[in-house]
A and B are shown apart, each in its own frame.
Chain A
Amino acid sequence: MLTKSFEITCPVGLHARPASILVSVAQGFKSSILIKYQDKEVPANSLIGVMTLGAETGQSVEVTISGEDEEKAMERLEAFFEKELKDL
């Protein structure tokens, strides 16, 4: 199991387009991926879940991944949160 925190860097927060891109990224892996924001935790492959987290820009979320491809998945999510998200 891998866990890491990330800051939300896109100006609109984790809604709309950034949320749906994250969901499609998460859907590409077999591992279970969970995202925790404040006291809520949701599966990252659920758009409803990710959008209703209400994670705003500047806040941080905690990602927990467990499963056979957890390392690859974490690598991909690091790229998403640390590089791609800024420009969304």
Chain B
Amino acid sequence: MIKGIPASKGIGIGKALVYKEAEDSNKFAGRKVTETEIENEISRFKAAHEATGKKLDETKIKASKVLEEKDLQLFEAYKMVLNDPILNDMVLANIKTQLLCVEASVLEAVGKIKAMFLAINNEYMKQRAEDVENVGNYILDALLGRERIDLSHLEEDTILIAKDLTPADTVGLDKKHIKGFAIEKGGETSHTAIVARTLEIPAVVGCGENIMNISSGDSLILDGETGIVIINPKATEFEEYSAKFLKHSTEAEEIKQLRDKSAETRDGIRVELVGNIAKPEEASSVLEKGGEGIGLFRTEFLYLDRSQLPTEEEQFQEYKKVAESMGGLPCIIRTMDIGGDKQMKSLHMPAEENPFLGYRAIRICLNEIEIFKTQLRAILRASVYGKLKIMFPMISGIEELREAKKILGEVKAELNEKNIPFDQSLKIGIMIEIPSAAMIADLLAKEVDFFSIGTNDLCQYTLAVDRMNEKVSYLYNPLHLGVLRLIRNIIEAGHQAGIKVGMCGEMAANIENAVILLGLGLDEFSMVPSSIPYVKRAIRNITFEKAKQIAENVMKMENTKQINDYVKERLYAD
């Protein structure tokens, strides 16, 4: 058994194929030439350099069919290294002044540059050292006329064993027959690891030299979750992993199939299952996981870690990106929620004694009206590219909400005057995350189009618990009856006024909690995209009637442990 670094999940069972480089270039190390051969060596280097550039371009074109844009950037990095003046000057100097042959000159230069990167002790630089080595290998391939083993036609159930794999090796990879990778070198962010995760093939990297002692044809089991490679497994091991394999593949299959299904209970009650995102690029993962929209788009990324405020145009571009990538599905944009634990350099905010009870979110917006208006204008302008909604955070009372709406009205009037188009029927909602707002939800409901319950803050304010404080964090608990009653009050008040009530806190992502919330009548569940399939499965497996009954009983219980035990029993016992 060999233990490496787990790089891509899943169980691989199959036969080993050991992939070795055709000719070891190390034998050229230090080999000298005579002065009369210098010219010839230089022109060999130039030819090999050019051939490598072409090869990289070709490989990139082939790879563009299999890999995503961000993985393709690797080829750009390789080309930058190939054309780098330091590398080229070093190789030429080795030939001219050290009288080394080209191969030896390349090896020497690559070794030296790798050492320069490794001298800066961090993971990123280690990966760059690998890039340089890979580029060196490409040049040596061209010099030696080395062809790599063709991986585009493999035998059934192949597990590939190699020292290291480069994009050139993996580009035409026979995806149908490959069942796993076990690689001597590399870390979690190495090329093989990235490819394996993209293709969803199990992989273990950083296995060490012993992995190369495996012979082609050996029977192998590879566990991409624990990083274990078993060589010629015993019958018991084989059985154990076959069962794991089956479980893993049925679950993955089931989740894939859930993607296009709605979040509907067995008795036909449909709710909305949507995702929380913090950057426009994350919108695609919401769709991949089967989300039907975005329930919370946090806009803080535009304000944090920078010394200047974001311009209207910059914000507009980001909101437009999200609107377009959701293709007509709703996206709730929350106006900036700075303050609390998120500070903004451009505002020079003084330190506060109680930042969570201080100057944050809508409170800043109502004071720094220009900042607020800039954001609202950007959102409104982007609203013609999809279905956007606006949500105000940290509303504690009715005056604040009216003030925010008044400012929004001013921005709308201004846009209308200038004939700048926006969605005139754009929906407005608020986060309910302060207990006072929860208590007057009936009044607030008359003023907005939707509510979204923010359980993280609602919990901490209701229970007076800082969950970052280890001494008291045990008190933080969304199933505290005090919190549950507030949630019920918010949902009922919303429904009485005829508006939808959602939740965008972590509570909605937990299956047992989600069932209680379903029973309480929650309309929309918003969560990290990766949780969507699991909550969807739970909703599809229960009837609304049963969820309602569970919720009713839960509301009569006194403590959390009792609630937890009861919900688990009702969910999993029968």
Interface residues of A (CB under 8 A from B): 11, 15-16, 20, 23, 42-43, 45-49, 51-52, 54, 86-87
Contacts and interface: CB of A to CB of B under 8 A. Distances in A.
A20 B124 CA distance: 14
Q: Which of A20, A43, A52 has the most CB of B within 10 A?
A: A52
Interface string B78-119: 001100111100000000000000000000000001001101
Nearest to A40: B116
B305 A48 contact: no
A47 B120 contact: no
B306 interface: yes
B405 interface: no
B322 to A, nearest CB: 21
Interface residues of B, number: 19
B86 A87 contact: no
Given A16-B124, A51-B117, A51-B128, A46 B84 contact: yes
Contact of B124 (A15, A43, A49): A15
Contacts of A48: 81, 84, 86-87, 113, 116, 132
A46 B128 CA distance: 14
Given A46-B85, A49-B86, A52-B119, 18 more contacts: A15-B124, A15-B125, A23-B80, A42-B86, A43-B85, A45-B85, A47-B80, A47-B81, A48-B86, A48-B113, A48-B116, A48-B132, A49-B84, A51-B117, A52-B116, A86-B306, A87-B307, A87-B308
Nearest to B88: A46
A30 to B, nearest CB: 14
Nearest to B115: A52
B80 A51 contact: no
A46 B117 contact: no
Contact of A87 (B116, B120, B125, B306): B306
Given A23-B80, A86-B307, A46 B125 contact: no
Contacts of A45: 85
A87 B302 CA distance: 11
A16 to B, nearest CB: 6
Interface string B526-557: 00000000000000000000000000000000
Contacts of A16: 124
Nearest to A45: B85
Contacts of A46: 84-86
A47 B125 contact: no
20 contacts: A11-B305, A42-B86, A43-B85, A45-B85, A46-B84, A47-B80, A48-B81, A48-B86, A48-B87, A48-B116, A49-B84, A49-B86, A52-B113, A52-B117, A52-B119, A52-B120, A54-B119, A86-B307, A87-B306, A87-B308
